Structure 1
């Protein structure tokens, strides 16, 4: 049996995944969590072979979880199963140690097959998203530009962002200007939206 841990903040989705995967003769759901910061404890408790992770969860996002999980338990396979099929998410998830990345509307039989293939050490990636990722390329944003854009997402003025990130106001403005240029947008609000759409934040 392949032991599975499901991590998704939507109880209905999590329950549906557990029910569908539980119908497979060789898959067993040994645990479910609704927050990213609960995953590592659940892995210690349940000893899964494969962890299915959502990207956007409270407590800790799935990509950060994947990175921590891969470092702590390199033998546990990680399959990202998400609504958010964004190119930047795929690249970041693979870099973080995920073995696969599929979207939630994947048919149940294909999802079960993806779990088996990941468990065997193969890489499984949604083909449409893989093509889109190759076209989009890697994120041109530096870590600091990403941090400043995330802080700017709520519309806070540069002075407030500077205080929050312990930077000078001029430095914040420079990072915002650079991010606007790299995203090919005209305003910081547009830059935030573009970077979010591409999964760069």
Structure 2
């Protein structure tokens, strides 16, 4: 049996996935979590063959959890299953060690096939997303620019961001200016929007 862990914060979606996958003769869902920071402890406890991770989870993103699993539980293969089919997310998932990346509106038999394929050593990526990722290119933002731009997403002033991130006001303005330029926009609100749409934040 292929032992599967599901990380999904929406209870109905998590339950539906578990029921449908358990109908497969060779797949057993052995653990379900609703917080990103519960993924690694649960994986270490139950030792799944495959972890299905949503990206946007409370506590820790599925992408960060994927990187931790690669380091602490390398035998566990990760498939990202998300509503947000953004090229930047796909790139970040691959960099974090994911072996699959699928969108939630795909058929469940496709998910079962993907689970079997990654366990066999294959890479499974939604073909439209793969094409989109190639056309968009990599994330142009540095880690610090991403951090500052993400902090600006709630409308915080440069001074507020500076206090929160322990930077000077001028340093924050420089990072914001650079991020705005790299996203091809003319203000921070548009820059945040473009960065989120591309999965760069």
Q: TM-score, normalised by structure 1?
A: 0.99
Q: 1:127-169, CA deviations, whole angstroms, 9 ceiling, x for partnerless residues?
A: 0000000000001000100000011001011011111111111
Q: Is the 8 A contact 2:44 2:73 kept in 1?
A: no
Query: Is 1:47 paired with 2:52?
Result: no
2: CA distance, partners of 1:109 / 1:158 = 48
Structure 1 runs of 4+ aligned residues shifted over 6 Å read: none
Q: 1:89-111, CA deviations, whole angstroms, 9 ceiling, x for partnerless residues?
A: 00001100100100001101111
Partner of 1:149: 149
2: CA distance, partners of 1:45 / 1:74 = 14
Q: 1:16-40, CA deviations, whole angstroms, 9 ceiling, x for partnerless residues?
A: 1101111100000001000000011
Q: TM-score, normalised by structure 2?
A: 0.99
* Gapped regions of structure 1 (runs ≥ 5): none
Query: Is 1:6 paired with 2:6?
Result: yes
CA RMSD of aligned residues (A): 0.6
2: CA distance, partners of 1:119 / 1:13 = 23
Partner of 1:134: 134
2: CA distance, partners of 1:109 / 1:23 = 10
Partner of 1:165: 165
1: CA distance, partners of 2:131 / 2:40 = 32
* Gapped regions of structure 2 (runs ≥ 5): none
